[in-house]
Amino acid sequence: MRHLIDITDFSVAEIDNLLDLADKMIEHPEDYRDCLHGRILATLFFEPSTRTRLSFESAMQSLGGSVLGFSSAASSSTAKGESLTDTIRTVSCYSDVIAMRHPVDGAAMAGSFRSRVPIINAGDGGHLHPTQTLTDLMTIRREKGRLTDMVVGVCGDLKYGRTVHSLIGAMSRYKGVKFVMISPKELKVPEWVTSELTKLGIPFTEVESMEEAMPQLDILYMTRVQKERFDSEETYLRLKDVYILTPDKLANAKADLSIMHPLPRVNEIHPDVDDDPRAVYFEQVRCGRFVRMALIKTLVEDAASNGKPNGVPAPEENEIRGTVKCGNPRCITCQEETLPQIFRLKDADEKVYRCVYCDWEHKA
Ligand code: CP
């Protein structure tokens, strides 16, 4: 059964097909009005959301299906101590597809091991957010007419910003893409992201000044400093306003720059930028509904023909199972200790293995 846990679960051709379908849906929504009649989407949001949850719900209703779910862990049996995997096992008996958001890294992967229906990762902790990336790719393709040959600047909280991790994973598979990562040292992009770029030979630079980076950028992807992931309030307060995009900072930007943000924003884009024709963050919001329609339709129809639950993956040759504990305290395996610890070989020369849930790297 297909799930969407990481954007790289879909090939470039499959992503391009999803974007083509989403473009058709935005032009002719009436053609898809009843295609999932009688099907049910469950939205399990253990963490707050406006765009992702409501766009999933709007998407399913636009396809003729219906929706059930919860918008906080407090209103589910999680509050009584039920495990995530038992919750997923239960809800997958009531629905045809599940979109889940959880504050812990790797939660969606853990859910997929126990689900009878496709799981869509709607954000797992500070790790990944693949459906935001589909939204971003659709927006970029509609703005630029391509996903190749561009300089993508990502700015802000690159450590905990899950949208950035997924966006880099996706865009690095398109030819001619370079990344400029703009952040303070404390919020640099994690090593599991940069080591992949290095391995693939994708050019990237890491800088601290947004203004210096600006002239070369085709995309400026701003992000919020993720208050909810910080252990120290003092560190958050010191870093939260480190980048604030105002109209004057765009003086040296390209005329066809696209200014993006997954939203919600706090202070990092001043509202005076909203009227700049290069600001496309509310166009991202619009695309989110249609690309999620395309995704839900694709996964539900795929499950109807290939719908065997996957279960816990069978052991592979190049893996370590059960003998190494994940060193990421935010990994789901640190919360649900009955989950099998699984590390897969990432770099044979360096003997680097990765946790299958959260990508934390272990050197053997
Ligand atoms: N972009 C995004 O994930 O927004 P929400 O947190 O409102 O869902």
- Which tokens go with 333? 């395996």
Residue range 222-235, pLDDT digits in tens: 999 999 999 899 99
Give percent above pLDDT 90 in the chain.
Answer: 95
267-301: pLDDT as tens digits: 999 999 999 999 999 999 999 999 999 999 999 99
* Three-state secondary structure call for residue 182: strand
Residue 266 amino acid letter: V
* Beta carbon of 50 within 6 Å of any ligand 1 atom: yes
CB 177 within 8 A of CB 153: no
The average confidence (pLDDT) of the chain is: 96
**What pLDDT does 247 receive?**
98
Interval between CA 187 and ligand 1 midpoint (Å): 20
Peptide bond into 264 cis (omega under 30): yes
* Nearest CA owner, ligand 1 atom 6: 49
How many CB atoms are closer than 10 A to CB 17? 14
Q: Which two tokens stand for residue 297?
A: 């339709």
Q: How far is CA 23 from CA 9, 122, 267, 293, 330, in A?
A: 21, 21, 32, 11, 37
215 lines ligand 1 (CB under 6 A): no
Q: What is the pLDDT of residue 195?
A: 92
Nearest C-alpha to atom 1 of ligand 1 is from which residue?
262
Phi/psi for 64 (5° steps) reads 90, 0
Whether the predicted pLDDT of 118 surpasses 80: yes
Asked if pLDDT for residue 203 goes beyond 90, the answer is yes
Q: Which residues contact 198 (CB under 8 A, 6 or more apart)?
A: none
pLDDT at 190: 95
User: Mean pLDDT over residues 196-225, rounded?
Assistant: 97
Torsion of CA 259, 265, 267, 273, to 10 degrees: 30
CA distances from 8 to 5, 171, 186 (A): 8, 10, 27
Distance in angstroms (rounded) separating the CA atoms of residues 326 and 346:
15
Q: pLDDT tens-digit profile of 52-96? A: 999 999 999 999 999 999 999 999 999 999 999 999 999 999 999
CB contact at 8 A, 97 and 88: no
d(CA 98, CA 87): 11
- Of 193, 196, 186, 252, residue with least CA distance to 220: 252
Q: Identify the bridge partners of residue 84 per DSSP, sorted by sequence position.
A: none
Length of the chain: 364
pLDDT number for residue 305: 87
Interval 298-313: pLDDT, tens: 999 999 987 788 889 9
> 346 alpha carbon to ligand 1 midpoint, in Å?
31
